[in-house]
Amino acid sequence: MKFVDEETKSQLFFEKHGDGRHKLMVIHGYGMDHRSMEWAVQMALGDQDNVQIIYVDLPGMGKSTDVELSLNADKVVDILLRLLDYIADGDSTVDLLGFSYGGYLVQGMLSKASERIGQFMLLAPAYYGDFSQRSLPEQVNFDLEITDPIHTQEYGDHYLQLTGIPSLNGYSKFAENVQVGFNDANNEYLDVYSKTGYVFKDEHRVHHTLVDNKGIIVLSMADHIVGYKDILSAASNYPETDYILLRNAGHIIHVDVADKVVQIIQSFFNY
């Protein structure tokens, strides 16, 4: 399905699962598409029939290819909020789940329109858009015996840049569900956006907005892409949020420790 944003003329592709009254919008990470999250959320959903899941492809990613090069993080947040209103279809609120850069955008959405949002969940969210401001742990040096067969895989090196627990099983999940989005992305758009649009214009305001929605934030101590300390330091701005800190996972936590993350998502459905 496609949502045409009248203000920017951007077209966002989204996929809907279920027809329940409880609505959840899922927002993926940078350069990926909705498939990177769909498999894990659907595993968590099981046979529940009271939930409606909306998987969004962000501008320039997945099937949302018809975009203007002038978009930035603030405009994308506004587009997502208009999509949220369209999805709500008269209901009071929609829940949000954001991974990585999707989690960054969810923070922007909460800072602008928390009253239109129900509960939220952030998986390994970016807190600072500027990489140089992030407090990051050192990347784990993996045992060559473990990684050698992965290096021979087509996307093995990319997987090893993001994982915290390398395995051939994890690589298979990554290649099938995450890498496919990177392969389909509009690289011209991403190149421009990463240089001119990636960071909120007023990130300080986003970081200092009190958010009293109920939420769950899941972090990894070995996440060398977005880190975990920065958003923990802002916990006072999220007084109704529970934090879960995982020890042995990298940035792609839903791949590295899939069983744990699926259980956490299941708990979120019943939060």
- Residues 192-237 pLDDT 10s: 999 999 999 999 999 999 999 999 999 999 999 999 999 999 999 9
Q: Supply the pLDDT for residue 4.
A: 92
Least confidently predicted of 80-94, 169-183, 212-226: 80-94
Are the C-beta atoms of residues 156 and 171 closer than 8 Å to each other? yes
Query: How would you class 139 by CB atoms within 10 Å of its CB: exposed for 0-12, middle for 13-18, buried for 19 or more?
Result: middle
Average pLDDT of every residue of the chain = 94
Alpha helices in the chain (DSSP H): 35-45, 73-88, 101-113, 144-151, 156-162, 168-173, 179-184, 187-196, 203-207, 229-232, 253-256, 258-269
Kindly tell me if the per-residue pLDDT of 257 is higher than 90. yes
Kindly tell me if the per-residue pLDDT of 19 is higher than 90. no
Are the C-beta atoms of residues 232 and 206 closer than 8 Å to each other? no
Kindly tell me if the per-residue pLDDT of 45 is higher than 90. no
CATH architecture of 2-269: 3-Layer(aba) Sandwich (3.40)
Give the amino acid at 85: D
d(CA 106, CA 81) in angstroms, rounded, equals 10
Q: Supply the pLDDT for residue 189.
A: 94
Which residues lie closer than 8 Å to 192 by C-beta, 6 or more apart? 69
CA distance readout (Å), 215 to 6, 139, 197: 31, 28, 27
**pLDDT tens, position by position, 131-165:** 999 999 998 888 878 799 999 999 999 999 999 99
| Residue ranges of domains in the chain | 2-269
d(CA 59, CA 170) in angstroms, rounded, equals 27
β-sheet bridge partners, residue 216:
121, 242
Q: Report the half-sphere exposure of 240 (CA within 13 A, side-chain side).
A: 12
Pick the closest to residue 235 from 253, 269, 203, 208 (CA basis): 208
Percent over 90 (pLDDT), the chain: 84
Model confidence, pTM: 0.96
